[in-house]
Amino acid sequence: MNSIQRLLPEADRLVEPFIGAGSVFLNTDYPEYLLCDINKDLINLYKILQTQPDEYITQARRLFDASNNVQEVYLRHRKAFNDAQNPFQRSLYFLYLNRFGYNGLCRYNQSGIFNVPFGRYKKPYFPEKELWFFAEKAQRATFVCTDYRQVFTCLKPGDAVYCD
């Protein structure tokens, strides 16, 4: 991250067409951010965390109970995620699947079904401190679910763009 930070110019806004986990966003200090990704579940989680951090973190914490760290329960939650229509509920399961699934992967099949297997971790870490930090910093961000090509049409003078 130190190497990346040294290369980033001063700017009014940092634009990331591929935010992913948000490492660059979380480790820089721009006045404004345009943060994009093609993964609608990821962007949905970020928007909910930005606008409803208290409720989101409280409910997400409940999923990090030892009783949820069992393959059968994981598979039920994965099915519930794939069936979910409610964006808030889906975002809770998305975080759970990321932390309890194999190697933190995010993978969908051609039908759009999340299909990462159970991770078999002793005690998945609930990233509460990190979620609060993200929620606070997200107040300077706009999150958009879009293709990177569309992001480039939104650039304006004073933007710095980070692509990885």
For the stretch 123-146, pLDDT in tens is 999 999 999 999 999 999 999 999
pTM of the model as a whole: 0.95
For the stretch 54-64, pLDDT in tens is 999 999 999 99
Q: To the nearest whole percent, how much of the chain has pLDDT over 90?
A: 98
Selection from 49, 40, 14 nearest residue 144 by Cα: 40
**pLDDT at site 128:** 98
Tokens representing 82? Answer: 């794939």
Q: Which residues of 148-162 are buried (b: 16+ CB within 10 A; e: fewer)?
A: eeebeeeeeeebbbb
Amino acid at 92: L
pLDDT recorded at residue 164? 86
Cα angle, residue 154 at apex, residues 153 and 157 outer, rounded to 5°? 105
Length in residues, the chain: 164
3-state DSSP helix/strand/coil % of the chain, to nearest 5: 50, 15, 35
Q: Name every residue whose Cβ is closer than 8 Å to that of residue 103 and which is 6 or more positions away in sequence.
A: 119
Ranges of residues in the chain with a pLDDT under 70 are: none
In the prediction, which pLDDT does 98 show? 97
Q: What is the pLDDT of residue 49?
A: 98
Asked if residue 121 lies in contact with residue 69, where contact means CB atoms within 8 angstroms, the answer is yes
Instruction: Identify the H or E element spanning 15.
Output: strand 13-16
